[in-house]
Amino acid sequence: MKDFRLYAITGEQFHPGRDLIDVMEQAILGGVDIIQLRDKTGSRDEVLAKAQALRALTRKHNVAFIVNDYIDIAMESDADGVHLGQGDLSLAEARKIVGDKMIGISTHAIEEALLAEAQGADYIGVGPVFPTKTKVDVVDPVTVNYVRQVSEQIRIPFVAIGGIKLHNVDEVIAAGATRICAVSEIVGSSNVKETCEAFLRKLERGK
């Protein structure tokens, strides 16, 4: 797996009137090294079309591309991987379909993290660290304590997510996170590229 530091997830509700591909390209130019398509509202055809466009963009810039939920679309668009929640297809089932593509699993407690690691996840999501309105079915914030727990007990890559902003990311880094994911703070920014650069400066300093 190609490692990553700054993970951006699409959230088109945060940039009305601005093109998805333009926004994500600005994020890549700002240093994002992995992009996830997360679309909970579009039809399958719409999601597939976006996946194909993002695949072309990420290939042009040599950035990893992940599809949330739709394992079939991940395969059809030749994404680098799929991201699954606790309620989605099991890791074993997903692995049969995707082969050596990446599988990321959202986790909210150390038991889930340890299980995902044991079952062969390539990386785990750790969150929501802080309250967020971006995810509707969101569980209570796991807090930076869970980030610290994961950083001490888990050996596969993990990415902190949920309510992470430039003003609070230092706390997350101090708890042991070396990979950060944000939706609204990145794609809702009036200067997407600069926001990503600022996140990366903080990650660099936290090393």
Specify binding-site residues: 36-40, 68-69, 88, 106, 132-135, 163, 183-184
Side-chain-side CA neighbours of 16 within 13 Å: the count stands at: 1
Express the helix, strand and coil content of the chain in percent, nearest 5 each: 45, 15, 40
- Could you tell me which stretch among 17-25, 73-81, 151-159, 177-185 binds ligand TZP (CB under 6 A)? 177-185
Residue 182: CB minimum distance to ligand TZP, A: 4
Annotated binding site for Mg(2+): 69, 88
Nearer to Mg ion, 85 or 157 (CB): 85
**In the window 68-87, what residues touch Mg ion (CB under 5 A)?**
69, 85
Tally the C-alpha atoms within 13 A of residue 11's C-alpha that lie toward its C-beta: 21
β-sheet bridge partners, residue 124: 105, 158
Tell me whether residue 147 or residue 161 sits nearer to ligand TZP (CB atom): 161
What letter does residue 88 receive in the DSSP assignment?
S
**Residue 16: is the preceding peptide bond cis (ω within 30°)?**
no
**Dihedral sign (CA 105, 163, 2, 51):** positive
- Of 6, 27, 159, 161, the one binding ligand TZP (CB under 6 A) is 161
Q: Which stretch binds ligand TZP (CB under 6 A): 15-23, 50-58, 127-135, 170-178?
A: 127-135
With CB cut-offs between 5 and 8 Å by kind, which of Mg ion, ligand TZP, none does residue 27 bind? none
Which part of the chain contacts ligand TZP (CB under 6 A), choosing from 41-49, 71-79, 91-99, 156-164?
156-164
Distance between CA 59 and CA 119 in Å, rounded? 29
- Tell me: does residue 157 bind Mg ion (CB under 5 A): no
Nearest to 127 by CA among 88, 189, 181: 181
Convert residues 132-151 into a mask of x (bound to ligand TZP by CB under 6 A) and - (unbound). x-xx----------------
List, in order, residues 6 or more apart from 111 with CB less than 8 Å away. none
- H or E element that contains 110: helix 110-118
Q: Which active-site residues does the annotation give? A: 38, 106, 135
Q: Is 104 in the site for ligand TZP (CB under 6 A)?
A: no
User: Which chain residues interact with Mg ion by CB under 5 A?
Assistant: 69, 85, 88
User: Which chain residues interact with ligand TZP by CB under 6 A?
Assistant: 9, 106, 127-128, 132, 134-135, 161-164, 182-185
